[in-house]
Structure 1
Amino acid sequence: MAPTRLSRTAVKKFGQFNRNITINMEENEKLKELVRQKYSEIALQDKDTNAASCCGTGGCSTEVYNIMTDDYTEIEGYNPDADLGLGCGLPTQFANIKAGDVVIDLGSGAGNDCFIARSETGETGKVIGIDFTPAMIEKARINAEKLGYHNVEFRQGDIEHMPVTSNVADVIVSNCVLNLVPNKDAVIKEIYRTLEPGGHFSISDVVLMGELPDALRKDAEMYAGCVAGAIQRDTYLGLIRTNGFQNVTVQKEKPIIIPDDILSKYLDSAELENFKSGSSGICSITVFAEKPLEKKQASCPPGCCD
């Protein structure tokens, strides 16, 4: 059989497709490296320093991360040394964690959500925190040792390729982390892989209603601050459903208002007014979903196999 010959147009399109993939991969790696650098700096600071800084790493009147933070201080298992003020919700409150559960926390930072989850799993359970910033892993391990927790483990890795075997977790939680990952679909697929059949997740994250202004969407600093990395609310929920999850439920939703002193760094006065008066918005949502139980083989009725 003669080999198939591609037309010049097809060859040109194929070449452009490959170039686009290469560009996207390079851009994704640049974003990941930006996040790694920024969060390495944040890991070396305490919560008060982060709260008085811009994007956790420089001086200004307000900063992006802590605009979204909820109050953990009254929750059992809370440890102030592990709270860097980087979340946008309280996913462990909604995660229905039971004693003895295996829980995975994606983007575990200094360990805050892991330690709260551990208070619910008890000593018979296990909590695994995953973070790809070495400084965060080191800080979390130090905190776990101080607390004497021997069933809380921290693993360095990319949540697009989790260092965890399949079908191991009863519950997965995450707090304002998927925004930092360029390939969100890959993370959701990994969540599905690592959950046991019948397991579930509760994830707090930032989503958009309408489009962000280009200046905000393209700025790398805003990406690391969890804003420019947000995707549309319906797209976010759609990714969860198309990856096979069921009972997808928004457990909590709240608006996020970026202060004018931050917006004015990216938008002129007319753009700022248009953004604030338009239909665009930024929200924090906490989403619950379940991995279906594996389908059992239908039983053979009497006589059918004779």
Structure 2
Amino acid sequence: MPESGSEGDSGAALAPETQRRLVRERYGAIATSDDGEDCCSSAACCDPAAAPGGEGTRERGELLGYSTDDLDSVEAGANLGLGCGNPKALASLAPGESVLDLGSGAGFDCFLAAQEVGEAGRVVGVDMTPEMVEQARANAAANESENVEFRLGEIEHLPVADGTVDVVISNCVVNLSPDEAQVFREAFRALRAGGRLAISDVVLTAPVPDDVRADPDSVAACVAGASTIGRLEELLADAGFEDVEVTPKDDSDRFVREWDDDRDPSAFLVSAAITARKPHAERGEGA
């Protein structure tokens, strides 16, 4: 029997290290692909029009909830047409805040966040794929984003000090982890007291077919690793978060159905806005 992830994960059928390797290989290929033709098996990112800066990428960005200003404000190369929402729209960022992006990819959401927090703010992106981090750093130079930094690391073991972040964002990445519970514990650790979590991700609306859950391509493509709304609420509460809200995006079937050429993932998967807050310091603790 295939080894499963640790207690509290999404129940993926692949061993954790196998799952991480598949995800790293997939997104490494996307980062180094010039035309999108070999990045993956799904039409969602392999249509040549979906190459960085391509018309398909822009249209997909609009479907995910990015405004025209968002799409125009970042230099080509950062928007790879990935994700399942717009975490910046959930985060209500303010000037001077510090932001941490889990699974930052080529940096698109980081650069949008940097515009919101301004020169007095700071944005750190963490990604486990070396090719993505390299591309993101090049994109930071192209965008002249001096308040953005990219670090190589796993979101289950964040290279970030305790209590140093005001906001944690992420875009369709937590479901790729073999241990979602650990991801949320790490996010909680990195947040300051009163800090908030604002992520876009996918949630289950029906059981994942067994052949999908065991399919390596589906696991690495945001299709097989999602949790139910109730499970996410439980994981976030167990990590210590309060004010937890998981809100499905009713029209996400418009892009979710494109993620698999052989089946329709929107039959059991939907994009959702996930928000939560770390409690303020208890009495006797520092502010």
Q: Give me the TM-score of the superposition, normalised by structure 2.
A: 0.81
Cα distance between partner residues in 2 of 1:223 and 1:78: 30
User: How far is 1:286 from its partner?
Assistant: 1.0
Is the Cα–Cα contact under 8 Å of residues 207 and 231 in structure 1 kept in the other structure? yes
For 1:71-90, list aligned pairs within 5 A: 71-72=65-66, 74-76=68-70, 77-90=73-86
The one of 42, 63, 75 equivalent to 1:54 is 42
For 1:1-306, list aligned pairs within 5 A: 27-45=15-33, 54=42, 70-72=64-66, 74-76=68-70, 77-251=73-247, 253-254=249-250, 255-256=252-253, 257-258=256-257, 262-264=261-263, 281-297=268-284
Cα distance between partner residues in 2 of 1:51 and 1:159: 22
Cα distance between partner residues in 2 of 1:37 and 1:58: 15
Q: Give me the TM-score of the superposition, normalised by structure 1.
A: 0.77
Change (3 A) 1:20 1:198: closer
What residue ranges of structure 1 are gaps of 5+ in the alignment? 1-17, 265-271, 299-306
Q: In structure 1, the residue corresponding to 2:68 is in which secondary structure?
A: coil
Is the Cα–Cα contact under 8 Å of residues 157 and 186 in structure 2 kept in the other structure? yes
Greater relative contact order, per chain length (Cα 8 Å cut-off, separation 6+): 2
- Tell me what 2:54 maps to: none
Q: In structure 2, the residue corresponding to 1:167 is in which secondary structure?
A: coil
User: How far is 1:161 from its partner?
Assistant: 0.3
Cα distance between partner residues in 2 of 1:169 and 1:225: 28
Q: In structure 2, the residue corresponding to 1:119 is in which secondary structure?
A: helix
Higher-Rg member (1/2): 1
User: How far is 1:54 from its partner?
Assistant: 2.1
Cα distance between partner residues in 1 of 2:257 and 2:177: 21
Spell out, residue by residue over 1:202-236, the C-alpha distance to the aligned partner (whole angstroms, 9 max, x if none). 01101101201111111110111101011122111
Cα distance between partner residues in 1 of 2:202 and 2:31: 21
What residue ranges of structure 2 are gaps of 5+ in the alignment? 7-11, 51-56
Cα distance between partner residues in 1 of 2:242 and 2:260: 41
